[in-house]
């Protein structure tokens, strides 16, 4: 290990439409699996919780549920084989070493404020109560799902109606100048655990959050004419 530090670590990342709202259901177990790879080396780790109450994001807010965790950065090197070497695709890999506190510290932290019309410039890192988060990508992407209007009636959209996967996105960890890029996969113990409420009379572009989704990100386009 070349470096370690304490960072807020996402377990839930939730965007809401403007206007409208979104929710992450209570009594559901959520698990965030982190994967960092370099050549043949892969490190995986997890952060998880079961919600005791529903998390809401309203009117363009983006909300994250974070756990305060300790992270480590490890050096990678070429591994000799008969034909040469396994190449390293990045010089360092990261791993979540577990909760930094006992019992674990969870906080619901705003990423975008109420009244935000678009997730295009959603921050990829937060700072709260003396600690930064790891970097994450939960914003609006070029992977457009739909141009969606509720001109005739309001709508309710649910993520992962046939799968427990809620979000797959890129993440990054940087400690004392050592950087590593990886991915996060957030899963729920049931389907339909993230829900979006779109009121009547508006139009949005909806993309897959972070580029892969299946969770959503929104850009408000205006009222129906």
pLDDT of residue 144: 94
pLDDT in tens, the chain (225 residues): 999 999 999 999 999 999 999 999 999 999 999 999 998 889 999 999 999 999 999 999 999 999 999 999 999 865 555 555 556 789 999 999 999 999 999 999 999 999 999 999 999 999 999 999 999 999 999 999 999 999 999 999 998 666 789 999 999 999 999 999 999 999 999 888 899 999 999 999 999 999 999 999 999 999 999
Question: Phi/psi at 6 (nearest 5 deg)?
Answer: -110, 130
pLDDT of residue 32: 98
CB of 185 closer than 8 Å to CB of 168: yes
The full set of domain ranges for the chain reads 3-223
CA distances from 54 to 14, 29, 60 (A): 12, 12, 17
CB atoms within 10 A of CB 19: 18
């Amino acid at each position: 290990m070349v470096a370690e530090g304490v960072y807020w670590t996402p377990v839930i990342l939730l965007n809401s439409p403007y206007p409208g709202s979104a929710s992450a259901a209570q009594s559901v177990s959520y698990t965030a699996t982190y994967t960092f790879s370099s050549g043949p080396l892969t490190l995986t780790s997890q952060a998880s919780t079961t919600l005791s109450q529903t998390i809401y994001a309203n009117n363009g807010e983006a909300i994250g549920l974070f756990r305060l965790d300790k992270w480590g950065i490890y050096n990678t090197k070429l591994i000799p084989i008969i034909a040469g070497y396994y190449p390293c695709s990045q010089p360092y890999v990261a791993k979540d070493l577990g909760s930094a506190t006992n019992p674990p510290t969870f906080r619901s932290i705003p990423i975008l404020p109420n009244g935000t019309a678009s997730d295009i410039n959603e921050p990829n890192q937060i700072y709260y109560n003396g600690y930064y988060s790891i970097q994450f990508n939960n914003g609006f992407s070029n992977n457009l799902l739909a141009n969606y209007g509720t001109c005739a009636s309001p709508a309710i959209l649910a993520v992962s109606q046939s799968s427990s996967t809620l979000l797959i996105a890129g993440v990054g960890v940087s400690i004392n100048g050592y950087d590593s890029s990886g991915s996060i996969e957030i899963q729920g113990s049931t389907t339909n655990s993230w829900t979006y409420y779109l009121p009547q009379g508006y139009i949005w572009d909806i993309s897959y959050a972070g580029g892969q989704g299946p969770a959503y990100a929104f850009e408000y386009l205006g009222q129906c004419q």
